[in-house]
A and B are shown apart, each in its own frame.
Chain A
Amino acid sequence: MISLSAFLWISSLLFAIGIAGMIINRHNLVVLLMCIELLLLSVNTNFVAFSHYLNNIDGKIFVFFILAVAAAETAVGLAILMVLYRQRGTIEIDKMDVLNG
């Protein structure tokens, strides 16, 4: 049977890939939002793994709520992105330096 640490390794590797993606993709805000999705996916995998191996259903309930909040976050984030593109004509993060004094 597969051990708990195998799932924990996978989810931590996924989390590390998400953080690395946030650093790499400075060019595009959409890919940055996708990296946030990767982070949430790894956290959810952790919750499901612990819920399964500790015989506790609360972890799965929490995954349910994380899915709802992540869907709301993505919808509002993409709406902000559309407004940003309409006003500035670009979604590159390097060009967002209006507040830079």
Chain B
Amino acid sequence: MLNAFPTTLVVFYAFAALLIASAFMVILSRHPVQSALYLVLAFFASAALWIMMQAEFLGLILILVYVGAVMTLFLFVVMTIPMHTIPIDKTRLLYIGYGSLVLVLFLGVMAKIIHPLNHIVFQLNNFQAPGISGATAIGESLYTTYVFPFEIAGFLLLVAIIAAISLSWKTDRRKIINDVSAQVNVKAKDRLKIVKMKAEKPQQDSTEPVQHD
């Protein structure tokens, strides 16, 4: 029976397990390159989960923007800066102990919040009209109601570009730039130094026999 097989549940649990496992590997792996690659895997699994929730546009944007741009930036930085494998010593085990304590505490608090939601049944219907894709619905809302925040987001990206370039610009490289105002404003005494001194006779060569009168 094809209908009896719970395809949706199997896909959901497979991608959820992949997401959680790769997230654990991000924080526990011993080299930052491995962490970055596991984070890419986590983004892919998360995009699959979003697509299951009918957010296919956002899932593809997540893959394009994060895996394509942000993680590439991470990998560039990781490979520019020399890094070594983190040793598993006493300090690291201590930190792992603290981290798992915080994880358990946080999950306990979240259980208190999420558990009552188990009994609430949300009505599931597709809120989009049948002929409209998710991207169209997002675009219609984004360019009408949220057009001003959209422009602010664009300006924020411009500011981030300027900040990133001006921060990472090397200032100690050899520049050949004419400072025109310094050239115009220069005075003669900055360039030329006049030293007063007495006139000197030309020095006689010491090898020559000196004539005494």
Write the residues of chain A forming the contact surface with B, with a CB cutoff of 8 angstroms. 1-10, 12-21, 23-28, 30-31, 33-35, 37-38, 41, 44-45, 48-49, 51-58, 60-61, 63-65, 67-76, 78-83, 85-86, 91
Contact = CB atoms under 8 A, between A and B. Distances in A.
A49 B51 CA distance: 11
A70 B74 CA distance: 13
B81 interface: yes
27 contacts: A8-B110, A8-B114, A10-B20, A15-B110, A16-B106, A17-B27, A19-B106, A20-B99, A20-B102, A20-B103, A23-B99, A26-B95, A28-B86, A31-B26, A31-B35, A38-B42, A53-B122, A55-B125, A61-B138, A71-B65, A72-B157, A74-B70, A78-B74, A79-B168, A83-B167, A83-B168, A86-B170
A70 B146 CA distance: 18
Contacts, number: 213
A100 B19 CA distance: 39
Contacts of A75: 73, 160-161, 163-164
B99 to A, nearest CB: 4
Interface residues of B, number: 80
Interface in B74-95: 74, 77-78, 80-81, 83, 86, 92, 95
Contacts of B125: 55
Interface string B18-36: 0110011011100010011
A79 B167 contact: yes
Interface of B: 8-9, 12, 16, 19-20, 23-24, 26-28, 32, 35-36, 39, 42-43, 46, 49-50, 52-55, 57-58, 61-62, 65-66, 69-70, 73-74, 77-78, 80-81, 83, 86, 92, 95-96, 98-100, 102-103, 106-107, 110, 114-115, 117-118, 120, 122-125, 127, 134, 137-138, 141-142, 146, 149, 153, 156-157, 159-161, 163-165, 167-168, 170
User: Top 7 A-B pairs ranked by shortest CB distance?
Assistant: A21-B27, A72-B160, A20-B99, A12-B110, A79-B167, A53-B122, A55-B127
Given A76-B164, A85-B81, 7 more contacts: A4-B117, A6-B12, A15-B110, A23-B95, A30-B35, A75-B160, A83-B168
